[in-house]
Amino acid sequence: MRALLVGLLLALLAAPAFAADAGVPASFAGAVKALRTERPVIVDGLLDEEVWKNGNAIGEFTQRDPDQGVPPRQKTEVRVAFDDDALYVGARMFDTAPDSVTARVARRDNSANSDMFTILLDPLHDKRTGYYFAVTAGGVLLDGVLMNDEWDDDSWDGVWLGRAKRDGQGWTAEMRIPFSQLRFTADEHHTFGINATRYIQRKNERDWLVHVPKTESGLASRMGHLEGLNGVSPHRTLELLPYLSSRAEYVAPPASGDPFNDGTRLFGSGGLDLKYRPTSSLTLDGTINPDFGQVEVDPAVVNLTAFETFFEEKRPFFIEGANIFSNFGRSGSNSFWGFNRSEPLIFYSRRIGRSPQGSADGDFVDRPSATTILGAAKITGKTRNGWSVGLLEAVTGRERAQTVTDGFLSRTEVEPLSNYLVGRVQREKGRGAFGLITTAVNRDLRTPALRADLPDQAYVAGVDAHYFLDSKRDWVVTGQLTGSHVAGSTDAVLELQRAPQRYYQRPDAPHLELDPAATNLRGWTGSVNLNRNSGVHGVNAALWGVSPGFESSDAGFNFNGDRGGMHAVYQWHNPNVNRFSRRRSLGIAKWYTWNFARELQGDGVHLFGNMQFKNYWSVFASGGFFRAVQDDRATRGGPSMLAPRSQFGFFALESDSRKRISAGVNWNSDGNEFGGSSMGAGINVTYRPAASLEISSGPSFQRNHNLAQYVDTFVDAAAAETFGSRYVFATLHQKEFSLQTRVNYIVSPKMSLQIYLQPLVSVGDYDVFKELARPRTYDFVRYGVDRGALTYDPVSRQYTVVPGDGGVPFTFGDPDFNFKSLRLNAIFRWEWRPGSAMYFVWTEQREDDARPGRFALRRDVGGVFAAPADDIILFKIAYWFQR
């Protein structure tokens, strides 16, 4: 906390009065004229075509960083041309020190801190959406889509050309952007929105054609006009991307007699991706038997909670255009804050193709690791009159596990044939917008086991809207209201009622009632948000709720239910350069959460601040306080218990990321009033020994001392004070070490090698076993100390408890663990022609759990690399063509 207070004091002392911004230079009229060319431009980075030799250059840029509102240090000129098939952009970046232009190479969509030129387009001219296309001085291409006026998403990869050349005057960039890659409506005369930016790496300077002050919001809505696009029609093209792949699996030494694993398995497959435009404003994307073997693996984690771990989507088919679904309830505002906010995701695309949810038992089991996606298709687009449309349909196959028991082979269904449907529409009109979303999951359940585990129908439908309170579109109110309906067998619905998101079986929850005969579950979620999108003084507030019965996990992600909350945030931000820093901000937030019995579950205050110094080093600090409240989830379905008063602090320092060597360090700590605590620290160093090589690595260490880690629940009528069950806890001493390393070697902008390596060691030592003494307290009865007896059998690794109050003795397994994991992923990618790529992938995973409860860093890290390995080698080739 001392570091936080010092940082806040420095920021206040360094803050000058905020000066008015210079705005757009008067010399730029806000319009760019595109010229038709009769000869296609040869995209080689050389501006030697006749169309580039006219006097139509635009050069009235304005500096935004570091000194906003003043003329740039270097001159930039942009010209735009077109023919029937494509838009061409030619840019000359003059530089008085051409040898100092930074031209590092990197993978696509990674600037690698190089000099860069970007063109931004709003082909629909709706002032809300658009595209950006960038070329670095090293020839690396970056692209993405714009939405919600100023948000960007780089998951979209268009098929276009870009080249850069360095010379004695600086450098040049040339682009060819096919009209087939852009969405715009049919018309004889077109006006696109346009903006352009130049980044000078050594100066950390950003120059904009149409300048947007740092304290104001908006990007698409502030673009200039690209005029002269006459006689251009949207292209209804068909793009096909068939692929072939082969995979070899070399698995850890098999168990003796395992009929499914002799150490080596070979597979081959093929599939097809397609893209078609049925109209000028809609795009159809489809995939048949998609393969995602080239996607980076998820990091290893140790999850000791009752809740599922959330992983980001990485599969190209699902992340491209995902914003049209993910912006539900989040449009209009450019800022959303959390603070224990439990609002669910309505659509979480990783549910499609997930790991099979059923189980299979046997002496030997061969269980598929993922569900096969038989096919998927989505239609997305935006019409001329402001309707955004998204529709996704996917079918996943029936999966079976093979088992052998006593020599007999059988097959057990572990995932049913399933259909996923997601629909989204939104209409923008005037200052506001409204929209709808719906998801539907239908399963063909044929076995009693799956009927008991999974609902056969799950539906979610919601409405959302936003409205700007002023003509400047500064203040905005955003909200949504959503309902869910899930139906299935009594066993499946009972399992949902008992799930961690709701725990209907809680004995002291008068607002809940467990219904073993129920065949459906219904609920709702809603929120309303107020945000100030721009200005020195930022304000954000929200009121939200998730009813106990709401369930979206079949197609979405349900973090927690039976929760409501509110927060208010004030943030001061000053982007002006002064004697000490380039920018700084301070903020404070107050938040609460309740359950639907109106019991306070969270009550906290957060303070935070950050500053970038004149030398481009940055510091961030935050801290907070939490009042003592009730926690109705700690006993995993039992009575509520006290959550102690606590506090936390976080500090991070980062050096100038433009340098050949840069580093970042962070530290966090928290503790509660009874002595529970945790502390963590990490460091990451990035080294760029050459323009084509970047190495990033650093260790992190976390130590937890948890006084009340849940162990298990045992029914016992003698435990009358805790409603006839014993809720067993322990003190957990946990140490965790991780070392994430990334290596990017770039042979050329189209050929790269990416390596990801993560060894992880997490060790937990449980002691002081005890049970909750009374509900709504943090009081415990320690076995063998306060009452009863506790014995341990090292052979069976079992604890036996004699409660000592007349209760029945019970046993439980030793929960100590020593999880050691290594994840290695190496991906060689070659885009051998535009849109076509070849991949060679090596994935290795090692795991070991020897010596539970005992942490020895050197020994355990060595054990990570000595553990048995599962290796997968994949080759994939995809060919893109268009007609």
**Beta-sheet strands, E only, within 168-253:** 170-178, 189-200, 205-208, 224-230, 238-250
Rounded distance between C-alpha atoms, residue 799 and residue 712, angstroms: 12
pLDDT above 90: residue 411: yes
**pLDDT digits 0-9 by tens, 50-82:** 999 877 889 899 999 888 889 999 999 999 999
Selected residue with higher pLDDT from 428 and 768:
768
pLDDT above 60: residue 785: yes
At residue 189, the pLDDT reads: 87
pLDDT above 80: residue 84: yes
At residue 258, the pLDDT reads: 84
**pLDDT digits 0-9 by tens, 687-723:** 999 888 999 999 999 999 999 999 999 999 999 999 9
The arithmetic mean of pLDDT across residues 817-839, rounded, is 93
At residue 20, the pLDDT reads: 34
Partners of 779 in the β-ladder: none
Q: How many CB atoms lie within 10 A of CB 785?
A: 11
Can you give the residue ranges of every domain in the chain? 1-16+608-689, 21-230
**pLDDT digits 0-9 by tens, 177-219:** 999 888 888 788 889 999 999 999 999 999 999 988 888 888 8
Cis peptide upstream of residue 254 (ω within 30 degrees of 0): no
Q: What is residue 598's three-state secondary structure?
A: coil
Q: Residue 490 has what DSSP assignment?
A: H
At residue 156, the pLDDT reads: 82
Rounded distance between C-alpha atoms, residue 462 and residue 425, angstroms: 11
From 705, 703, 633, select the one nearest 672 (Cα to Cα).
Answer: 705
**pLDDT digits 0-9 by tens, 123-181:** 988 888 899 999 999 999 999 988 888 888 887 888 899 999 999 999 999 999 999 88
The DSSP code sequence of 440-466 is EEEEE--SHHHHHHS-SEEEEEEEEEE
At residue 296, the pLDDT reads: 77
Residue 699's Cβ-count burial label (10 Å; 0-12, 13-18, 19+) is middle
* Average pLDDT in the chain: 91
pLDDT above 70: residue 12: no
Rounded distance between C-alpha atoms, residue 143 and residue 300, angstroms: 30
Rounded distance between C-alpha atoms, residue 760 and residue 319, angstroms: 28
For the domain spanning 21-230, the CATH number is 2.60.40.1190
Q: How many CB atoms lie within 10 A of CB 12?
A: 12
Buried b / exposed e over 400-422, threshold 16 CB at 10 Å, is bbbbbeeeeeeebbbbbbbebeb
At residue 14, the pLDDT reads: 38
At residue 28, the pLDDT reads: 57
pLDDT above 80: residue 793: yes
- The alpha carbon of 241 is separated from its chain's Cα centroid by a whole number of angstroms, namely 26
Torsion of CA 367, 312, 693, 615, to 10 degrees: -150
**pLDDT digits 0-9 by tens, 458-483:** 999 999 999 999 988 899 999 999 99
pLDDT band at 22 (very low <50, low <70, confident <90, very high): very low
Rounded distance between C-alpha atoms, residue 564 and residue 545, angstroms: 4
Q: What percentage of residues in the chain have a pLDDT greater than 90?
A: 72
**pLDDT digits 0-9 by tens, 494-510:** 999 999 999 999 999 99
Report the largest interatomic distance among the alpha carbons of the chain, rounded to a whole angstrom: 97
The continuous run of DSSP H or E covering 397 comes out as none
At residue 200, the pLDDT reads: 95
pLDDT above 90: residue 725: yes
Q: By the 8 A CB rule, do 516 and 569 touch? A: no
pLDDT band at 729 (very low <50, low <70, confident <90, very high): very high
Residue with tokens 């912006």: 327
At residue 377, the pLDDT reads: 95
Residue with tokens 């009813």: 547
At residue 422, the pLDDT reads: 97
Looking at the whole model, is its pTM more than 0.95?
A: no
Selected residue with higher pLDDT from 110 and 379:
379
The arithmetic mean of pLDDT across residues 639-643, rounded, is 97
At residue 29, the pLDDT reads: 57
Selected residue with higher pLDDT from 675 and 308:
675
Q: List the single range of 243-247, 296-300, 457-461, 642-646 with lowest mean pLDDT.
A: 296-300
Q: By the 8 A CB rule, do 840 and 806 touch? A: no
pLDDT above 90: residue 17: no
Contacts of 783 (CB under 8 A, 6+ apart): 769, 770, 771, 789, 790, 801, 803, 804
- 614 Rama class: left (phi>0) / alpha (psi -120 to 50) / beta: alpha
pLDDT above 70: residue 27: no
